[in-house]
Structure 1
Amino acid sequence: MSRRCELTGKTAQTGHNVSHANNKTRRRFLPNLCDVTLMSDALQRSVQLRISAHALRTVDHRGGLDAFLLKAPDAQLSPKALKLKRELRKVLAERETAGGAEAAS
């Protein structure tokens, strides 16, 4: 299981532990990953993801998982999140064409 956020792509960073004597040793800064279940309004189902705490706050700020996925660039999303984004676009396109057909008749 990789230490990578499925929504933002945040991964482990490297740096130094610096002692009082200014000795430097290598260390890793790991993202604060959480196993969460988020609800997709358009797909009407819940989705389990492993995301960072920062990403969880961003999802809430943008108005939910659907809004976050539609706005997020494809390069930073995991394959699981990309699949969700494709499903979401497909469902929204179907709803749009169904709504347009009803309005025309």
Structure 2
Amino acid sequence: MARRCELTGIGPRSGNNVSHAKNRTKRRFLPNLCRVTLRSDKLDEGFKFRIAASALRTVDHMGGLDVFLTKAKDEQLSATALKVKRKLAKAS
């Protein structure tokens, strides 16, 4: 399973561990992924996603899953999120 947020597309980033002696070794910064069930108000249905904690706060801030998906770009959404977005478009 890929370490990528299904709603925002956030994935692993690379960087360096820097010791006190300034020795640098490569490392990966992994996103803080959580398994959550987000509820759609229009469809009155719950959908399971694996999203970053920052994306969960963004969805909450924007007013729910429906609003987030209508404003989101298709390129950054996963296949399951795109299916939900299409269901929302049909329901409207």
TM over 0.5: yes
What are the superposed Cα offsets for residues 14-64 of structure 1, whole Å, 9 maximum, x if unpaired? Answer: 000001111100000000000000100111100000000000000000100
Helix, strand or coil at the partner of 1:42: coil
Matched with 2:74 is 74
Aligned length: 92
Q: Compare CA radii of gyration and give the structure with the larger one.
A: 1
- TM-score (norm: length of structure 2): 0.98
- TM-score (norm: length of structure 1): 0.86
Q: Which runs of 5+ in 2 are unaligned?
A: none
Question: Which structure exhibits the higher relative contact order, with contacts defined as CA atoms closer than 8 Å and separated by 6 or more residues?
Answer: 2
Helix, strand or coil at the partner of 1:2: coil
Helix, strand or coil at the partner of 1:31: coil
Is the aligned partner of 1:49 residue 2:49? yes
Helix, strand or coil at the partner of 1:43: coil
What are the superposed Cα offsets for residues 63-104 of structure 1, whole Å, 9 maximum, x if unpaired? Answer: 000000000011100011011100100001xxxxxxxxxxxx
